[in-house]
Structure 1
């Protein structure tokens, strides 16, 4: 829930962004990027509750003075952020032996344990008087995002403090195992059961798959140092659910993505999508090769595609580049890095470095999104307008620091941290409303809302009737095979066919099957790849059936690539989708 609040704040902040300030703060740097904890330390406040020294992390920090800003109506600090701050400090202690970071981690973990209820679940926010917000929808006692993040912090903390402070580790263990009982209660209620959503088989015992990836991480960290049967049992159940909610391939939507919400087989969002990170880690710890393969699939198919297209906010099914945030970029970085650790294949370390280069200016705004001089991680950018949100809240700072910590610990990743994309050859989206009418009476429709209930329209849509024909001039920048697909609504009880013609040649068609339940927006591939020469072509679409709602058409090169400059050298990352092969050369 907190993520949606953050996105709302993000949109508001864009309206206030200052281009002059953005230019000054976004100047690229070629120097190695150090991990600077200064701003995170500033966001923290030492407090004492019930005689116990704790640390809270203030949620927002706004440009230009970067003072603390509270979350209106929620509180001044939350487990969501403090637990992640604890992870940053634990990482710093493990990497650098920093005793101050160990102490900060301990105080942060004290706060996390303070927010745990007797049944193992967690509250999230504290008010200004440090009382617990027990009523807010983003704070109520539950096993939700904040509980899962608490498990990650406590699980990793247990491994660190078992060596550094065994007595304190014992307290963490008790709280962790109590949380595990709450997790077991959650997953056991419907364990092994499935539901059918638009023809997809969806596990029902997880709920928020993205959120529960944090719990799996905590379980894996704990099990590494103390392999308890109860912890392994939870790992097996959560890992199974995350592994099974994955669909697609190199060419088939959603491209091997681990989806986050059990209500949609269409929506994937970057923020919080730590399933590959967690599955690779847990798979390595338990020897579950299937989980590692599952993480590797998403890394090879979706994540690698994003290295070519550039970062996105989400796909639902059209890729949206507007609200790019550190939390999304870090999930790609951590996923690649953990797959590297699990497979020992150095290409994934390189991919992690390329993903993290977003922070050093390799993004759609050409803005440095992590300032190594101040330690600020900035709150996001709009890849369409190029505007940057120069606020620097807890989440953005923490996620940036996590990404830098991981990349700096892997030489092959760190080497590519300052890479810059200089050319892309990738998918182009042509909106249906931009097509011209050739035959019939196609109707352009403005949806009441872009959100359908489980997916999102990219703009206006076109209603096609039987034998309606529309066309558009499209420009191809490189000769080769192309894959065509349409973002369209599959309707219950209604089937049809969308014929594809290029320059008066019938080249392929999209088979529009009826939905097995309710109407839903998805991406449907044309049956055959199409060869297109470089230049301008007329793309013509003819619908046969009762009715079709068409959102857009995607023209995807069968061989896509991105060209990078790094340390004076040029690299090309090439992806052959039909052969299922990626190559960085």
Structure 2
């Protein structure tokens, strides 16, 4: 059924920006996609469908608030498979034993229960819905039952629970840690997130329950202080880089979700221990900022300290966490990392194809899921608010449009009538139309954020941004598809995963002394920036590759400069190394191995991008374009925006500071994009 189309326009009287936040509730196939009453995007109906109650038996070390008086606790099914008629069937994780009714993993899990509680808490805070407060309360009670309260691992959390209430401490396949409450974990981080936000809400509405939540939060903080934070100030080495040794599971991704809870708790008067923990984790997260406009990962914060060669969209809430910490803790220096990631890296990500599951370091996993899109959206909005950077709002618009059709499938993956968010889109554009807990949760978190913008007066209803009109950004050219010279050998390992990264195209090329490779670079109007992805090893004298075109030598890459392995799970690091000069489109690029006395050099791929990459989204009435300059000099380009009327162009530097505005009535529009900055052009 056709629906009213709208976008959210980030707008403020004092900000020099107007850019559409595309939020078109276009029809998700097989669902009724009319918006809910009042035009709100958020709708917890499908999340409620996934909800359940469980009546666990008393178990030593596991109890919760008023368990004897209120034996039914909130729970949440992990997955929901779509039937042929469009309805959904709730299921757990792993194979089901029909005799016991137990899944190999479980029916419910702490990760999803914690994040679902956050949805209900935020929905109640935004709308005042009493049902959401009740759902949050029940899920928090159920979640607290999963926390271990006694013994050496008190404060940690069991991940899986069966539908009859049985705890499954060691799932199949095994989790890390195993048993799941034996050490710090993602689910401990998300437990802190949920209880931090839960305490902040219930201290006003149900003080006894809030007091219980505070006790359990402090118990989880005991575990954090016991198992993680004693390492504060200890630096490790990962392939030659100094990395923090005090993050949860070595992860900035996991730690960022803990920081979201810690800062919420501190805002609500949580105390010195929480303040100290939030500051230390945020410091470690921010230290993992890497790269620049020219160098991979283009200013992003890496999600794990153990690898310099991977970034993933899912769970990448590092900018949101450090921006929140900067505000709550009064540490504005943290904003530099948040702005580097959101303003520097996001334009590269969006023009390359969007919120991919994994760049390892090439975009090897191009599946896209709501968890990744929401993590990027939340980070952009938090950095925009706390960093006072309205230039990040149009990047949020381009990110959020994924839900409503501006994606590889060209279809909406969120339906505001039902609250269904599909489980993802493959690189071939195929939609996974199941709708499990994680996708449902993060779809709702995104919609709540967009609804909150509207209620704060930061948005206007305009029109849709539901179609990708043009995209030209980073692309991958595989080494195995190059023209070989000498004895260059294509290697296809049993697994492309190295332990910390992944060979793009599932293969790489071995080069011995004198061997070479040659590529024909893509045609186009703009010069190209090229970063060969090579395996840098800790072996001085390993050899170099010399890179040149037919006309000139571009540079040399020393493959022996990887540095000590340290905590990295694999020796060597697949690393994109930027060539120092742009090359003409259509040229031949050559690589030749020199000085290789022992072993061989590994070349995985080329990352090739125009000096100014672009993304243009459009709808029936409006269009919005992003132009991103990855080069060290200004470039003037032309862009065509669908629609009618004048085009407004806003210019920003690499930290999203506004540097200029002009109007253009021509088609195409000429834009001079700032050095390492970006431009936003809009029509209508």
Give TM-score, length-normalised by structure 2.
Answer: 0.78
Work out the CA distance in 2 between the residues paired with 1:514 and 1:233.
37
The answer to whether structure 1 residue 78 and structure 2 residue 89 are counterparts is no
Work out the CA distance in 2 between the residues paired with 1:463 and 1:323.
28
List per-residue Cα deviations over 1:24-48 (Å, max 9, x = no partner): 4499999967212111111101334
Change (3 A) 1:351 1:479: closer
Is there any run of 5+ residues in structure 2 with no aligned partner, and where? 1-26, 57-66, 95-103, 566-570, 633-674
* Residue 101 of structure 2: aligned partner: none
* Residue 534 of structure 2: aligned partner: 488
Work out the CA distance in 2 between the residues paired with 1:557 and 1:465.
31
Higher fraction of helix: 1
Is there any run of 5+ residues in structure 1 with no aligned partner, and where? 1-21
Work out the CA distance in 2 between the residues paired with 1:507 and 1:188.
46
Q: Which moved more, 1:316-325 or 1:512-521?
A: 512-521
CA positional deviation for 1:180: 1.2
CA positional deviation for 1:442: 1.2
* Residue 580 of structure 1: aligned partner: 676
The answer to whether structure 1 residue 307 and structure 2 residue 359 are counterparts is no
3-state SS of 2:158 partner: coil
Superposition pairs of residues 512-527 of structure 1, within 5 angstroms: 512-518=559-565, 519-527=571-579
* Residue 135 of structure 1: aligned partner: 170
List per-residue Cα deviations over 1:371-423 (Å, max 9, x = no partner): 2222111111111x222111110111011110111122224578687353211
The answer to whether structure 1 residue 47 and structure 2 residue 47 are counterparts is no
CA positional deviation for 1:220: 0.2
Superposition pairs of residues 126-165 of structure 1, within 5 angstroms: 126-136=161-171, 137-138=174-175, 140-141=180-181, 142-165=183-206
The answer to whether structure 1 residue 529 and structure 2 residue 581 are counterparts is yes
Please point out which of 436, 456, 476 is paired with 2:483.
436
Please point out which of 228, 240, 245 is paired with 1:187.
228
Change (3 A) 1:453 1:321: closer
Work out the CA distance in 2 between the residues paired with 1:88 and 1:214.
14
Work out the CA distance in 1 between the residues paired with 2:594 and 2:33.
52
The answer to whether structure 1 residue 234 and structure 2 residue 277 are counterparts is yes
CA positional deviation for 1:344: 2.3
Superposition pairs of residues 393-472 of structure 1, within 5 angstroms: 393-411=436-454, 418-437=465-484, 439-459=485-505, 460-472=507-519
List per-residue Cα deviations over 1:210-266 (Å, max 9, x = no partner): 112111111100111205111111112111111112211111122222222232111
Please point out which of 241, 244, 248 is paired with 2:291.
248
Work out the CA distance in 1 between the residues paired with 2:604 and 2:517.
13
CA positional deviation for 1:567: 5.4
* Residue 257 of structure 2: aligned partner: 214
Work out the CA distance in 2 between the residues paired with 1:344 and 1:188.
31
The answer to whether structure 1 residue 61 and structure 2 residue 113 are counterparts is no
Q: Which moved more, 1:516-525 or 1:56-65?
A: 516-525
Change (3 A) 1:164 1:23: closer
Calculate the aligned-residue CA RMSD, in Å.
Answer: 2.3
Change (3 A) 1:124 1:26: same
* Residue 541 of structure 1: aligned partner: 591
Residues 368 and 425 of structure 2 are in contact (CA less than 8 Å); yes or no, is this contact kept in structure 1? Answer: yes
The answer to whether structure 1 residue 346 and structure 2 residue 359 are counterparts is no
Q: Which moved more, 1:521-530 or 1:231-240?
A: 521-530
* Residue 43 of structure 2: aligned partner: 36
Work out the CA distance in 1 between the residues paired with 2:314 and 2:516.
39
Give TM-score, length-normalised by structure 1.
Answer: 0.90
Residues 26 and 368 of structure 1 are in contact (CA less than 8 Å); yes or no, is this contact kept in structure 2? Answer: no
3-state SS of 1:475 partner: coil
Change (3 A) 1:390 1:576: same
Residues 26 and 366 of structure 1 are in contact (CA less than 8 Å); yes or no, is this contact kept in structure 2? Answer: no
3-state SS of 2:562 partner: coil
Change (3 A) 1:443 1:531: closer
* Residue 375 of structure 1: aligned partner: 419
The answer to whether structure 1 residue 171 and structure 2 residue 223 are counterparts is no
Change (3 A) 1:526 1:225: closer
* Residue 559 of structure 1: aligned partner: 612
Q: Which moved more, 1:202-211 or 1:96-105?
A: 202-211
CA positional deviation for 1:91: 0.8
Residues 28 and 413 of structure 2 are in contact (CA less than 8 Å); yes or no, is this contact kept in structure 1? Answer: no
Change (3 A) 1:526 1:88: closer
3-state SS of 2:210 partner: helix
CA positional deviation for 1:198: 0.9
Work out the CA distance in 1 between the residues paired with 2:430 and 2:301.
29
Residues 354 and 417 of structure 1 are in contact (CA less than 8 Å); yes or no, is this contact kept in structure 2? Answer: no
List per-residue Cα deviations over 1:532-576 (Å, max 9, x = no partner): 15xx33222222231321111122222212122145233221111
Q: Aligned residue pairs: how many?
A: 559
CA positional deviation for 1:268: 1.5
3-state SS of 1:409 partner: helix
Work out the CA distance in 2 between the residues paired with 1:413 and 1:354.
15
Work out the CA distance in 1 between the residues paired with 2:271 and 2:518.
62
The answer to whether structure 1 residue 500 and structure 2 residue 547 are counterparts is yes
3-state SS of 2:231 partner: coil
CA positional deviation for 1:492: 3.0
Work out the CA distance in 2 between the residues paired with 1:175 and 1:364.
43
Work out the CA distance in 1 between the residues paired with 2:561 and 2:236.
19
3-state SS of 1:299 partner: helix
Work out the CA distance in 2 between the residues paired with 1:196 and 1:105.
41
3-state SS of 1:253 partner: coil
Work out the CA distance in 2 between the residues paired with 1:30 and 1:318.
38
List per-residue Cα deviations over 1:160-194 (Å, max 9, x = no partner): 11112222211111111111111111223322111
List per-residue Cα deviations over 1:43-76 (Å, max 9, x = no partner): 1013344433421011111012311111121111
